[in-house]
Amino acid sequence: ILNVEQSPQSLHVQEGDSTNFTCSFPSSNFYALHWYRWETAKSPEALFVMTLNGDEKKKGRISATLNTKEGYSYLYIKGSQPEDSATYLCASTGNQFYFGTGTSLTVIP
Amino acid sequence: SAVISQKPSRDICQRGTSLTIQCQVDSQVTMMFWYRQQPGQSLTLIATANQGSEATYESGFVIDKFPISRPNLTFSTLTVSNMSPEDSSIYLCSVAWGGFQETQYFGPGTRLLVL
């Protein structure tokens, strides 16, 4: 079992603010790191898959970085919008997906 | 990617009863999985649904409690048997075509409340 931790647990930001949150995972036997965005009553939506140390991925205003040596990934949202409100999940994979408990983001108009 | 539907989307059940959740995918997939998210907890893998053979269960989950069927490459069911309030969770199915470097695609989930 891999212990994947996310922080903060929840976050409230004003519209237009930029924000970031963290996913920590065991650096040994690392295989891949996945980020998902999950809105209530919808399917979790895949954002990024990263495998290499130093990887950076970007999708619109959302970007992510990966440090496999120290075992963490950051997710950044630039200029937050109310539609960004969701729970952001990360998962580290070994022989299965091991998810963190998520960061719940609320963007206040 | 894949379009995945689940039925029911939510249910309220009495303790001691059973509920069967259906997962339908719009294309044939190699791998199908069932997850559970209890309140305040992370998504946890229950089992891998194998087409034409018995499901592979993770530690802490047993076939008698969570029987799974997978009659073909586009459909699977998960039954939550003899329910107790501790079974109140969101249950999700997911699919993938490759290994764990590949993205898993999730259904919208079934929200279960057991009274």
A56's tokens:
């950076």
Confidence band, pLDDT 50/70/90 cuts, at residue B54: confident
User: Which pairs from A63-71 meet CB under 8 Å and 24+ separation?
Assistant: A64/A35, A66/A33, A68/A27, A68/A30, A68/A33, A69/A27, A70/A27, A71/A24, A71/A25, A71/A26, A71/A27, A71/A30
Q: Got the DSSP string for B43-58?
A: -EEEEEEPTTS--EEP
Chain A residues in contact with B105 (beta carbon < 8 A): 43, 46
Sequence-ordered list of residues with C-beta below 8 angstroms from that of B99, at least 6 positions apart, any chain = none
Chain A contact probe: residue of B31, B42, B92 with most A CBs at under 10 A: B42
Interface of B with A in 4-43 (CB under 8 A): 4, 9, 40-43
Q: Is the pLDDT of residue B34 over 80?
A: yes
Confidence band, pLDDT 50/70/90 cuts, at residue A96: confident
Q: How does pLDDT run across B7-27, given as a tens digit for each residue? A: 999 999 999 999 999 999 999
Place of tokens 């802490």: B60
Give the one of A32, A96, A102 whose C-beta lies nearest to B101's C-beta.
A32
Mean pLDDT is lowest, of A27-36, B58-67, B68-77, B104-113, for A27-36
Q: How does pLDDT run across A62-79, given as a tens digit for each residue? A: 999 999 999 999 999 999
Q: How does pLDDT run across B71-106, given as a tens digit for each residue? A: 999 999 999 999 999 999 999 999 988 777 788 999
